Amino acid sequence: MVGDGVLLECLQNPAVEYVLVLTRKPTGRTHAKMRELLVPELADLSAVESQLTGYNACFFCAGVSSVGISKEEYERITHDMTLAVAATMVRLNPEMTFIYVSGAGTDSSEKSSQHWARVKGRTENQLLALPFRAAYMFRPGFMKATAGQRNILKWYGAIAWLYPLARQLAPDFVSTMQEVGRAMINAADFGYSKPVLEVRDIVALAHGKVAPRP
């Protein structure tokens, strides 16, 4: 869902020159500045490495809910697959900015009682240790979908009408998908003052309130 919304923002934003979409299934979208590369297993990009050079940013939006799957499977997708992609990208494009969509509630100390929060915290920490030009961990909460999105969780659609109220009552947990995409683009272009961005950081960066990287 996040990847679909971020892709729409990238295609509409003049700051983005070209987009290569790595995906396991067709997006169904076409655009003059977009190319789609089908990769059955994101953890193994060896067959397509020659097509992955020359990019200055990677927006990693792949992931899965921890609900209904084993801890081992969740770790394989959330941690192992993410680090495998990142290792390939930093080797091929060391000047790249890598942005990882984590989630509100992620635990950087890796000591949370919630398994998913520990796994995402460990994933964030190991990504930040890689020698990218810059890396940012985005922790969005509830995101209002962008018009034209095709991949939206059913329950998101059912409660979308609550967004205006939630934005007023819980600004630390609510943003739009468009703001997440714009903040990613601004982070890649201008940087940010800290590597982990909570919802308020994401919203501020999306609206041009940029704190440059130190």
CATH at residue 195: 3.40.50.720
Residue 169 lies in a domain: yes
- Going along 82-189, which residue ranges are E strands? 97-101, 134-138, 142-144, 174-176
Q: What is the pLDDT of residue 182?
A: 95
| Inter-CA distances, 78 with 114, 132, 186, Å | 14, 20, 25
Q: Quick count: other Cβ atoms within 10 Å of Cβ 135?
A: 22
Mean pLDDT of 145-150: 66
Q: What is the pLDDT of residue 172?
A: 77
Name 196's bridge partners: 137
**Domain count of the fold of the chain:** 1
Using one digit for the tens of pLDDT, what is the confidence trace for 72-96? 999 999 999 999 999 999 999 999 9
Residue 167 lies in a domain: yes
Enclosing H/E stretch for 21: strand 19-23
Instruction: Name the 3-class secondary structure at 152.
Output: coil
CA distance 155 to 153: 6
Residue 151 has pLDDT above 80, yes or no: no
Residue 45 lies in a domain: yes
Residue 157 has pLDDT above 70, yes or no: no
Residue 211 lies in a domain: no
Sign of CA dihedral 24, 144, 20, 63: negative
Residue 128 lies in a domain: yes
| Inter-CA distances, 95 with 29, 30, 133, 135, Å | 29, 28, 5, 11
Strands 174-176 and 142-144: parallel
Using one digit for the tens of pLDDT, what is the confidence trace for 89-132? 999 999 999 999 999 999 999 999 999 999 999 999 999 999 99
Q: Quick count: other Cβ atoms within 10 Å of Cβ 169?
A: 10
Q: Quick count: other Cβ atoms within 10 Å of Cβ 138?
A: 28
Residue 107 lies in a domain: yes
Mean pLDDT of 26-51: 94
Residue 211 has pLDDT above 60, yes or no: no
Per the structure, the complete domain to which residue 129 belongs is given by: 2-206
CA nearest 78: which of 89, 94, 67? 67
Question: What's the start-to-end Cα distance of the chain, in Å?
Answer: 32
Q: Can you say whether residue 99 is alpha, beta or left, with left for phi > 0 and alpha for psi between -120 and 50 degrees? A: beta
CA distance 84 to 117: 20
Mean pLDDT of 139-157: 71
CA nearest 143: which of 126, 130, 162? 162
Residue 198 lies in a domain: yes
Residue 21 lies in a domain: yes
